[in-house]
Amino acid sequence: MSTVKKAATALISVFHKEGLEPIVRKLDDLGVTIYSTGGTEKYIKELGVRVIPVEEVTSYPSILGGRVKTLHPKVFGGILNRQDQESDVAQLEEYNIPQLDIVIVDLYPFEKTVSSGASEQEIIEKIDIGGISLIRAAAKNYKDVLCVSSMDDYELFLDLISEGQGSTTLEQRKAFAKKAFDISSHYDTAIFQYFDDSKEQGSFKISEQHGKVLRYGENPHQRGYYFGDFDSVFDKLHGKELSYNNLLDIDAAVNLMEEFRDESPTFAILKHNNACGLASRTTVKEAYLDALAGDPVSAFGGILISNTPIDGPTAEEIHKLFCEVVIAPDFEDAALEILKGKKNRILLIQKKAVLSDRIVRTCLNGYLVQDKDLKTDSKELLDYVTKNKPSDRELDDLIFASKICKHTKSNTIVLAKNGQLCASGTGQTSRVDALNQAIHKARTFKFDLDGAVMASDAFFPFPDCVEIAFSAGIRSVIQPGGSIKDHLSIDYCDQNDMAMVMTGTRHFKH
């Protein structure tokens, strides 16, 4: 039997009718018999196109307030019958069931209804039953039926039937079936997520329909993909295609800068997901220059992000640096003209989008899922554990350093002074190594650490870190606390007039 099928009939029942008219008219021109129901039937009639109500086929009206319209053997028999099996064809004739060659059905907008803040009853009513059943049936029987399950495919479908004069190949029908199962599985996942509000079901489901093939993964020999609606978070104004590593760095940059939302102009430079420079100042230009001073070597090829629109004078300074990406809430026209001078430089305007509050990563043969670390240390929650108390300036720097520390790979130590990142030790197996790395780096770039502060992502099990910090000129420390030997570090600070505050919150980042 030929795999090419010429359609003689179509069932159309859709919620979204935008773009449907050209399809209806083309099917009519091709002599295709159209069946429909409810609002779609009325729509087709108003176009002046002949349409047969489904009720004429089933001999049943739409009942239960529209909840049951197409759930009937005469509808599903017309979709699920196997044309290459004589017994199926015979039963169609016996029960007077019309063969349905094309099924055009979409789903109630469940996700949109949930996000609108609708009532529970309104949301429940948007759980599609008939539509998803028709989609699954038609997609299952792709050997004989073509299923169009989204208005996003209307144009492709119209081109297909126009070029083939109503005929489609098995390969084409299978491709549409694949899309249909993508839509139906995503829809069911969204419904489960709505009911699983406590996240305690013991079942993990995730579905994302926006996908993009990247040039490669973390390295050129690895394939890479991004699944997500990037355009809902950013407007991309200029530059080359984003890479896998670009996206990881952008994610790190956005989460870090979220700590400084609505604060004074703050600029950060990141490399390999860690801040190598960050400063808060009265102007964005000053913030950028002091962030760059934190590590002008690592800044080469980095990701730049500002919490403030970038102006022309700042852009002139940025333009002197080779950087992969620049992110800001906006760019002045003069800044754009300058920054577009490098054709590959990626320029992104960050929108006020809602980001995920969970972190997912693969682990062994499964997944690890956790809440995102959304707790930011604040002055009001500090525990002042030493005799000497930090000054107001030191308190500001301690919170500043703690915010950076939270977004730096563990083990980490962050050194800061006057609203500027002096240096950090990142991703070390020992906290002492992280501190020594930070001190060495700060001195390499000529920072005076006298009066600087130190932040740690986790507690000090021994006093060695405060001893090293004191020798470097640091006089104020912020750390979570929680070690059974906290008193050793506290005692050392008291003996040397150092100030230490504890947050009670660990900020590991692996």
Residues in the chain: 510
Helix ranges (H only) for 302-430 are 312-318, 333-339, 392-406
| Selection from 369, 350, 367, 342 nearest residue 358 by Cα | 369
CA atoms of 309 and 151, how far apart (whole Å): 38
- 81: preceding bond cis by omega (within 30 degrees): no
Annotated active-site residue in 6, 26, 74, 140:
140
Q: Cα separations (Å) of 510 from 278, 361, 409?
A: 21, 11, 6
Q: Cα separations (Å) of 168 from 4, 171, 172?
A: 6, 8, 6
Bridge partner residues of 371 (DSSP): 358
* Pair of tokens at residue 353: 């989008």
* Pair of tokens at residue 44: 């087709």
Cα torsion through 282, 399, 253, 472, rounded to 10: 90
Annotated active-site residue in 143, 236, 272, 340:
272
CA atoms of 106 and 255, how far apart (whole Å): 36
Q: Is 111 left (phi over 0), alpha (psi -120 to 50) or beta?
A: alpha
CA atoms of 144 and 137, how far apart (whole Å): 11
> Cα(first)–Cα(last) distance of the chain, in Å?
58
| Selection from 47, 46, 170, 179 nearest residue 106 by Cα | 179
Bridge partner residues of 146 (DSSP): 102
CA atoms of 472 and 451, how far apart (whole Å): 10
Active site residue 210: no
CB distance 77 to 97 below 8 Å: yes
Task: Please report how many Cα atoms fall inside a 13 Å half-sphere around the Cα of residue 362, on the Cβ side.
Answer: 2
Continuous segment of H or E residues that includes residue 275:
strand 274-280
* Pair of tokens at residue 469: 């910090």
CB distance 485 to 462 below 8 Å: yes
Bridge partner residues of 455 (DSSP): 414, 478
Active site residue 417: no
CA atoms of 135 and 70, how far apart (whole Å): 12
CB distance 7 to 168 below 8 Å: yes
Supply the residues annotated as catalytic. 140, 272
